Structure 1
Amino acid sequence: MERVQELHDAPLAPLTTFRLGGPATRLLTATTDAEVIDAVREADATGTPLLIIGGGSNLVIGDAGFTGTALRIATKGFELDGTRLELAAGEVWTDAVARTVEAGLAGIECLAGIPGSAGATPIQNVGAYGQEVSATITEVIAYDRAAGETVTLANAECAFSYRHSRFKAEPDRYVVLRVRFELEDAGGLSAPVKYPETARTLGVEAGDRVPAATARETVLKLRAGKGMVLDPEDHDTWSAGSFFTNPILTDEEFAAFHARVAERLGPDAKAPAFPAGEGLTKTSAAWLIDKAGFTKGYGSGPARISTKHTLALTNRGEATTEDLLTLAREVVAGVRDAFGVTLVNEPVTVGVRL
C-alpha cells in the first residue's frame, strides 16, 4: 500500500460541518486515486469496516465514533477542456463552481456555496435553486468494491432521482473517484433561471438568462441569508444544510395531507405543492416544520433549529450527536402528528439511526 497519512484514535468531529462525532480507530488521508483504491482494497481484504469521508457536510457520526478505518478522500484535480469538466472526488465543490463561472460556463452556477466535495455530488444528486448535478454529469468514475475494479458509469447508469442515485442506493459498493460534466458555453450567461426565488431576487422571469457570475453571487447571498454558507463564527452554519428532504407524496397521500392542512390551519390554507412526476407531488419540508410549531431558533439545548432556516438543525457549540438526534426525532414526530407526513433525513448517519 502506498504511504498515506495515518492516525489512530483520530477525532472525526473536525472533519464534519456539524463538528460532531467520536473518534475512528484509524484515519487514513488519501491524496491520489491509487491511494484511495489501495486503502479500500486493504479494508475489504481484511474485513475492516470502512467509512468514506469527503467534505463531511452530509455526515452525522455517533458519539461513540467509528470502529474501523475512516478514509478521508483529499484528491485534487480540476481539468477543463472546452465545456467538458473533470473533477477529482476530493476537490472542494464550491471552489470548482467558482472556477467554471470564471471560465464563462453555465450549468452549475446555482449550486454555488454548497459545502462538501465534488465526489459527494453524484451520490446525493446535489441540487439547489433549480439545478441538479444530474443535469450536467456525463460520467462517474468509481471503484467498484464488488468487482474489485475501477468502472466508468454513464449518466443513465447512475439512476439519478431527487437527492438519490445508484451510489446512495448501494453505499457499500462504489467509491467515487472522479466526476465528469458537460457544461454550456452561453457567452458568459447562466443556464435559464428556473427557481422562482432566484428569478425574483434577480428581477427576471423564470427561463431568462443572466450573467453566470451574477447568478452565482445571488445564490451565495440567498444561501448566506439562510445560514447555508460555511462560516466558523456562525453557529447557524454548524449544520448539514437541509437536514430533511422535501417529501414526495402520491396523489392519495397528498389528498390526505391536504385534508390535514385544512383541518389544522383552516380551509383556505394551502401547502406548497410542486409536480414531481406522474401521480406525485413534492411539498416543502421547511413549511411542514414551521407549521408544526418548530420555528427558527427552536430548542433550548445545545442543538437547535437554525435561527435563519427551519430546515437546518445546528450545533450551538457544545452539542453531542445524541443532542442533535433528540431534536431531529422531536421534529419528525411533531410533523407526523400534525400532518401525517414522515420526514426523511438527508445526511448519512454513521453508528446511529434517526
Structure 2
Amino acid sequence: MTDGNGATPLAELTTMRVGGAAHELLSPATRDELVAAMVETWGSGEEWIVLGGGSNVVVADEGFDGTVVRVLTRGIQQLSDDDGRVVLRVEAGEPWDDLVAYTVDNGLAGIEALSGIPGSTGAAPVQNIGAYGQEIASSLVAIEFLDYLSGDLQRLTAADLGFDYRTSTLKQGRRGLVLSVDLELTRSAESAPVGYAQLASTLGVELGARVPLRVVRDTVLALRASKGMVLDPADPDSVSCGSFFTNPIVGENFARTLPEQAPRWANAPEPAPVAVPLGEEPAAPPAQTDFRVKLSAAWLIEKSGIGRGFSLPGSRAAISSKHTLAIVNTGGATAAEVTELGRYVQTRVFSQFGVRMVAEPVLVGVWL
C-alpha cells in the first residue's frame, strides 16, 4: 500500500505533470484499506491530501511534506430502477469518463454532456463539475463520506453539499473523504434537454431538444478535443488542468460597466410564479436586488491582450494554443512557471476590467 517515502514525484500522477514527491504516498487497493489508511493518516497528525485522477491539482516543485492518499477503488452498482429512474452507486476511484461511457452504453441519461472530463468520480462533487449545460448537482442524490472531524461514515445528500457554481461545502472547508457517489439518471435512449447554446448549434438543434445519447457524447468529446480539453498523449495542449480559471460571477450593476460585447449570462433563477385567489390582492413584489451575472473568463483573458499560445519569456508554461482558459505544460515546466503565468493572467484581467480571476485547480504548496 505504501509507495515509499519521496519515491514518486507527484508530477507523474497529475495531468499538469508538475510537482515533487510527497513525504509518504499511499495507494490502498480496496475500500477497507482506503478507510483504514485515511483514519491512520488523520491520527498521525501529519498534513494530508487525497489524490484521485490528478486532473485538477497543481503541486509545488518542492513536493508535499505530508501524506498523499490515492483513491483507486472502482465499481458501478445499480441500486434501484423505479419507473425509469435509475440510481447508481459509483466508487470514488472510478474514472469519471468511464462512468459516463457506461451510462451512455446502458441508455441512462443525465450526465452525457459531462463526457471527456478527466479525473475520478469521487472528485466530481467537490467542485460540482459541469460542462455544456449539465452539472453533477442535477443528478447527485448523495455521497458516502468519511468525516475528518468525527471519523464517522456519513451519508450526505445533495442539499448537505451546498452546491453552487464549481463549488460545494467539500471545497469550502468540509474535510474528509468521498467513498462513493449515488446518481439518479433517467432510462432513455435520448439525452436530457440540451441546455448549452454551443452544443445545440453544433448538433443542429434548438435549445431544449433531445437527441440520441451517443450523438451527444460523441459531439461533446469532439468539442472538448478541439479545445485540448480531452486527455490525449498525441495532443500537447492536453497537458494541463483543463480550465485554469472559473468564469467570474459578478453583480449585475458591475457587469453593466463592462464593454457591451462582453458575454454574460444571468446566474439567478427566474422568480417562481405565484397563484393569487380571485378577489385577493397580490403581495408586493420582492425588492429588486443586484442579480448575479456570469462572465466569460476566456473572453476576459483574450481581451486583456493574452492570446492562445502566449507564454512569458523563458517559461515552459503557456496558454493553450486551442483555448485561452487552459494553461499547459509545453515540456518540462515547473509549478512555479505555471503559477507565475496564472498570476500574470490575473493581473492583466484585473488591470483591464477590474475582475478578479479565481483559479479552478486545487493548489498544493503554491499560490496565485
Question: What TM-score does the superposition give when structure 2 sets the normalisation length?
Answer: 0.90
Task: Give 1:213-232 correspondences, 5 Å limit.
Answer: 213-232=214-233
Q: Which residue of 132, 154, 164 maps to 2:157?
A: 154
The question of 1:7 aligning with 2:8 is answered no
Instruction: Determine the C-alpha separation between the residues in 1 that align with 2:136 and 2:255.
Output: 28
One-letter code of the match for 1:196? Answer: A
Q: Distance in 2 between matches of 1:218 and 1:308?
A: 17
- Write the letter of the residue equivalent to 2:186: E
The equivalent position to 2:263 in structure 1, one of 272, 287, 308, is 272
Q: Distance in 2 between matches of 1:151 and 1:110?
A: 29
- Looking at structure 1, the residues matched to 42 and 144 of structure 2 have their Cα atoms a distance apart, in angstroms, of 19
Which residue does the alignment assign to 1:264? Answer: none
Aligned to 2:123: 120
Equivalent in the alignment of 2:306: 294
Paired residues of 2:22 and 2:66 also in contact (CA < 8 A): yes
**1:201 maps to what in 2?**
202
The answer to whether 1:41 aligns with 2:36 is no
The corresponding residue for 1:266 is: none
Find out whether 1:168 has 2:182 as its counterpart. no
Q: Which residue of 1 aligns with 2:283?
A: none
Report what 1:313 is aligned to: 327
Q: Does the 8 A contact of 2:50 with 2:68 survive in 1?
A: yes
Equivalent residue for 2:213?
212
Alignment partners' CA distance in 1, 2:150 and 2:49: 19
Contact 2:22–2:67 (CA<8 Å) still a contact in 1?
yes
Distance 1:5 1:213 in 2: 40
| 43-52 vs 120-129, greater mean Cα deviation | 43-52
- Tell me, in whole angstroms, the C-alpha distance in 2 between the residues paired with 1:210 and 1:56: 32
Deviations 1:326-349 (A, max 9, x none): 111110000000001010000000
Shift of 1:237: 0.5
What code does the residue aligned with 1:184 have?
Answer: T
Q: CA RMSD in A?
A: 1.1
Distance 2:158 2:31 in 1: 21
The C-alpha deviation readout for 1:294-331, integer Å capped at 9, x for no partner, is: 11111152100000000000000110000111111110
- Structure 1 contact 244–311 (Cα < 8 Å) conserved: yes
| Residues in 2 aligned to 1:150 and 1:13: alpha-carbon distance in whole angstroms | 31
User: Is 1:107 matched up with 2:110?
Assistant: yes
Distance 1:149 1:280 in 2: 37
Superposed CA offset, 1:119-161 (max 9, x none): 0000010000000000000001110011111100011111000
Residue deviations 1:232-260 (CA, integer Å, cap 9, x gap):
2322001000000000001232233x2xx
Counterpart AA for 1:208: A
Give the aligned partner of residue 85 of structure 1: 88
How far the C-alpha of 1:32 sits from its partner, in A, is: 2.1
How many residue pairs match? The answer is 339
CA drift at 1:31: 2.3
Q: Percent identity?
A: 47
Other-structure match for 1:65: 63
Shift of 1:41: 1.3
Gaps of 5+ in 1: 262-268
Residues 1:282 and 2:284 aligned together: no
Q: What's the counterpart of residue 326 of structure 1?
A: 340
Q: Decide which structure has the larger Cα Rg and report it.
A: 2
Determine which of 177, 182, 185 is the counterpart of 1:180: 182
Q: Distance in 2 between matches of 1:228 and 1:298?
A: 17
CA distance in 1, matches of 2:3, 2:355: 44
Is this contact kept in 2: 1:40–1:50, CA < 8 A? no
Corresponding letter in the other structure for 2:366: V
Q: Tell me the amino acid that sits aligned with residue 302 of structure 2.
A: D
**Are residue 30 (structure 1) and residue 28 (structure 2) matched?**
yes
Q: What's 2:140 paired with?
A: 137
Residues 1:246 and 2:247 aligned together: yes
Q: Say whether the 8 Å CA contact 1:52–1:71 is kept in structure 2.
A: yes
CA distance in 1, matches of 2:161, 2:358: 22
Instruction: Say which SS state the counterpart of residue 240 (structure 2) adopts.
Output: coil
Q: Which amino acid aligns with 2:298?
A: A
CA distance in 2, matches of 1:7, 1:130: 42
CA contact (8 A) 1:137 1:181 kept: yes
The runs of 4+ residues in structure 1 deviating greater than 4 Å are none
